[in-house]
Chain A
Amino acid sequence: MREYEAVYILKGNIEAAAAEKIGEKIKDLIVNQKGILLGHRYLGKKTLAYRIEKETRGNYYLVSFLGEGPVLAELERILRYTEEVIRFLSVKVAEEIDAKKRKEEFDAKKIIEPAFGSDSRVEIEEGGSREAR
């Protein structure tokens, strides 16, 4: 099995219930496609470095999972079709992963993922002008 992770960005003003629904849809999809969900979490709300679909802020989420190509393809399809998702990026983390061991590592929180924190924003001088909008 391969390990993948995907970051997706939801519109800045999305309601909590709508965001949760999308998260559930993604988690269900991975399980339904015979993938193994490692983790799904909120990374925080950030000011975007540039506008995407007229949005200046975005809510970032990270989903990590094990699976083969079809799981990823289905995930990407859903992310592309979901209107509230303004951008996403999927990345192959590793090839030939020992699924059981990796799941245990994740569950034991041995994998430390970065979080932006809700108040943090991209610290780029040039990007600062975005905040004024």
Chain B
Amino acid sequence: MMGLGMVGTGRKKACRFCSDALISMDYKEPKFLTFFVSERGKIVPRRLTGNCAFHQRRITEAVKRARILALLPFTASHR
């Protein structure tokens, strides 16, 4: 089955988007996107989020679009 990744404990974690088709993946929704980037603004890898390859690609695309629109940073901002 698609969407199963191994986490540290060996427990299989299902892709949240596969299990709930209604979750939005819109690049215009920064609140949703902050969930998938680290504090430094990097995209969280699939092995940590448990997303399947298909949905991880969609997230990556959305994050990159949001960066262009300054809804998300490209990198951690300088203080």
Chain A residues within CB distance 8 Å of chain B? 7, 9, 43, 46, 48-50, 52, 58, 60, 62, 87, 89, 91, 113-114, 116, 122-127, 129-130
In angstroms, Cα B74 to Cα A98, docked, is: 37
Closest to B24 in A: A114
Closest to A128 in B: B77
- How many residues of B sit at the interface, in one of the four size bands? 20 to 34
Q: Which of B26, B40, B65, B67 contacts A126 (CB 8 A)?
A: B40
18 A-B interface contacts by CB (under 8 A): A7-B28, A9-B69, A49-B71, A52-B70, A62-B28, A87-B68, A89-B68, A91-B27, A113-B28, A114-B28, A114-B29, A122-B34, A122-B70, A124-B37, A124-B72, A125-B39, A126-B76, A127-B73
In angstroms, Cα B66 to Cα A9, docked, is: 12
In angstroms, Cα B24 to Cα A127, docked, is: 23
Contact B28 A122 (CB under 8 A): no
A38 to B: closest C-beta gap in Å: 15
Closest to B31 in A: A123
